[in-house]
Chain A
Amino acid sequence: MSAPVPPAIEAIDLRRIYRRGAEEIPAVDGVSFSVDCGAFVSIVGPSGSGKTTLINVLGCLDNPTSGTLRLGGQTIFERGKALSEAALTRIRREVFGYIFQKFYLISTLNVLENVVLPFTFYQKPGAGSEVDRLLKLLEIDHRRSHLPGQLSGGEMQRVAVARALVNRPQILLADEPTGNLDTKRSEEIGRLLKDLNEREGLTVILVTHNLQLARQAQRIVELRDGKIWGRLP
């Protein structure tokens, strides 16, 4: 019998507290949950529920105030011990790819240059050979020499997705990726995420307030006031 595969992400009693003067605001208040490898999980909730804060902590963009975070069975945070920015960066580039509501493409670089931009700073062995396949998969190959200003919103987000995937991350974090897109493009992105998960085996964690988009996932987790409220059907 083989050893059980640890979850891709495991959070135990995770807290993130912000201080505003004398006031303490618990944006994430004792969240415990895990995401298996190859899973597609959506996190939904009303505005101010702590979704973005949670995904930031899970994605090592931020240190938790307390609690434990494990990635692939390896403990990253525990007992409130903060990691240095340099250490966080090393973890991020090995494990995660990110897409956001704003596409953050560099306007003076064309599509191909934007996609391979992560290689300027760090390139995983073998990652370079995947670029063409990625461009075709995301249906932006024919636009590779165009500038972002010449693309539609949906195309720009797909470029952002390609950039997030170019270094073969284990986990894709998507924070409101369709916030700036119309319904049709939003559906396209939703299908794209589902495809990446099902066909490529990518672990996807999606934060959204769009329930229809959230339903592309296998599991939906609802957050309210920094706490997990429950699972949605």
Chain B
Amino acid sequence: MKKISLFQVAYKNLLRKKTRSILTLVGIGLAGWVLVSLFGFNQGYEASLNRDIDNLGFQMLVIAKGCPYEAATLMLKGGTGLKYLKEDVVGLVAREPEVEGVTPMLMQVVFDPNKGESGGFSAFLGVDPKTFPTLKGTLKFHTGGWFTESEAAEAVFGYEAAELEQREVGDSYLIPEKNVEVKVVGVLERTGTQDDGTIFLPFRTVQRVFGISNELTGIGIKVRKEADIAKFEEKMYALPDVQVVSLAQVKTTIMNLVGTARVLVFSIAVIAILIAMMGVVNTILMSVMERRQEIGILKSMGAQALDIFKLVWLETVILCLAGGAVGSVLAVGTAKLTDVLVRNLLPYAPSGGLVQINVRLVLVTLGVVTLIGLLSGIYPSWRAGRLRPLDAIRSEVES
């Protein structure tokens, strides 16, 4: 080897003050970690939300009119207070020309005193065996199959619900509080959605077990492709005692809500990056000032101002790239932890991974961090390039 590259000189310069280089790298790494995690959350949340909503299979939901927050809270706390709508609404909705299909649903929640130290809830979703699979379109079974008849005392378990209850096809299951036995006929494949924790029963069975006649908690609607959704919503609003929720709207609204939070967190990430940038500028500048004499010597050897600029700039870029890589690795490694953290913080989180980090995201973040490095390095590099060799060397001997 009869030549040493500028990159090698830059890289070895960083090794001179290892502690300082490492600390700067860690600062950039932390900023990179925040960036990647944030972008990953951004991607993951939207993807999971889309998947959850798409998984429902229908684009609209008709539910009973009333204050939904109140209903939902009461439902979670005491299993009562659910709002019901009359079963004959199904017929009213189905006959509309825009409707391709409808599926009635009845959810019930029971308090199981034998779950945990002080009891817990179990939820059951009553569905129409005929229409639910058609509208859903995506029911895959791990073992067994769908209900055999519309009022059977049968249950289909989501994968994780089956795991918890240790249920297999052919086993019995006891509905708590009601002490009614049903037979397990199917266990669904794991989907990563809310279905995994759901216990499905025919809705007529749920009506019978829970003593609810002619009432439902919701109707899923599949609208024809060519239908005017806005016009159809208007018609549905005209129905007494019901309200229509368009899931596209839900998605948009949730994303708007999340988006506001996202902007806030993004701002914090930007501030973190600016602080890291200042750290980089300071470190490199300090390093340049310490190496004045050496830079002078390099110039005496034939290095032009641009060569010195490139050398110092390279040091900055190496630091930022390495820091960005560390941050990306940290983000990937802690994605699961971030997922758990975010899930605990958010009032609503879709099932499935909340933090999705892929190669593209890592590359984009590395690009951003490198760009920041390039910008941070300009001033110190320019200062270094401007040093006159004599000014740099002169300090040693005046004779």
- Is chain B found bound to chain A in the same assembly? yes
Q: Which residues of B contact A85 (CB under 8 A)?
A: 305, 388
Selected contact of B16 from candidates A45, A93, A108, CB within 8 Å: A108
A89 close to B2 (CB less than 8 A): no
Q: Known contacts being A89-B303, A108-B13, A113-B4, is A52 close to B399, with CB within 8 Å?
A: yes
CB distance from B290 to the nearest CB of A (A): 12
Q: Which residues of B contact A48 (CB under 8 A)?
A: 398-399
Interface-side segment among A115-123, A185-193, A211-219: A115-123
Q: Confirm or deny: B352 has a beta carbon within 8 angstroms of a beta carbon on chain A.
A: no
Q: Which residues of B contact A52 (CB under 8 A)?
A: 397-399
Q: Which residues of A contact B293 (CB under 8 A)?
A: 102, 104
Selected contact of A120 from candidates B6, B305, B388, B397, CB within 8 Å: B6
CB distance from B154 to the nearest CB of A (A): 74
Q: Known contacts being A119-B4, A120-B3, A121-B307, is A101 close to B302, with CB within 8 Å?
A: no
Q: Confirm or deny: A167 has a beta carbon within 8 angstroms of a beta carbon on chain B.
A: yes
Instruction: Mark out the residues of chain A between 47 and 102 whose CB falls within 8 Å of any chain B CB in the assembled complex.
Output: 47-52, 56, 61-62, 85-86, 89, 92-93, 96, 98, 100-102
Selected contact of A116 from candidates B2, B15, B302, B394, CB within 8 Å: B2
A118 close to B2 (CB less than 8 A): no
Q: Known contacts being A89-B302, A116-B3, A118-B301, is A102 close to B396, with CB within 8 Å?
A: yes
CB distance from B126 to the nearest CB of A (A): 73
Q: Confirm or deny: B250 has a beta carbon within 8 angstroms of a beta carbon on chain A.
A: no
Selected contact of B2 from candidates A96, A108, A128, CB within 8 Å: A128
Q: Which residues of B contact A12 (CB under 8 A)?
A: none
Q: Confirm or deny: A176 has a beta carbon within 8 angstroms of a beta carbon on chain B.
A: yes
A118 close to B302 (CB less than 8 A): yes
A106 close to B294 (CB less than 8 A): yes
Interface size class of A (residues with CB under 8 A): 35 or more
CB distance from A68 to the nearest CB of B (A): 20
Q: Which residues of B contact A113 (CB under 8 A)?
A: 4, 8
Question: What is the chain B residue whose CB lies nearest that of A27?
Answer: B398
CB distance from A33 to the nearest CB of B (A): 18
Q: Confirm or deny: A10 has a beta carbon within 8 angstroms of a beta carbon on chain B.
A: no
B297 close to A104 (CB less than 8 A): yes
Q: Which residues of A contact B4 (CB under 8 A)?
A: 109, 113, 116-117, 119-120
Selected contact of B301 from candidates A50, A121, A131, CB within 8 Å: A121
User: How far apart sit A96 and B301, CA to CA, in the bound complex (Å)?
Assistant: 9
Q: Confirm or deny: B364 has a beta carbon within 8 angstroms of a beta carbon on chain A.
A: no
Q: Confirm or deny: B20 has a beta carbon within 8 angstroms of a beta carbon on chain A.
A: no
Selected contact of A104 from candidates B1, B294, B305, B398, CB within 8 Å: B294
Q: Confirm or deny: B300 has a beta carbon within 8 angstroms of a beta carbon on chain A.
A: yes
| Of B5, B16, B293, B399, most A-chain CB atoms within 10 Å | B399
A93 close to B397 (CB less than 8 A): no
Q: Which residues of B contact A93 (CB under 8 A)?
A: 301-302
12 inter-chain pairs at a CB distance below 8 angstroms, sorted by A residue, are A50-B399, A61-B390, A85-B388, A89-B303, A98-B297, A98-B300, A102-B396, A116-B3, A116-B4, A120-B4, A131-B2, A207-B399
Query: Which A residues lie at the B interface, using CB under 8 A?
Result: 45, 47-52, 56, 61-62, 85-86, 89, 92-93, 96, 98, 100-102, 104, 106-109, 112-113, 116-123, 128, 131, 163, 167, 175-176, 179, 207, 209
Known: A49-B399, A109-B9, A119-B4. 12 other contacts (CB 8 A): A45-B399, A56-B394, A93-B301, A96-B300, A100-B397, A102-B396, A104-B297, A116-B2, A120-B3, A121-B302, A176-B399, A207-B399
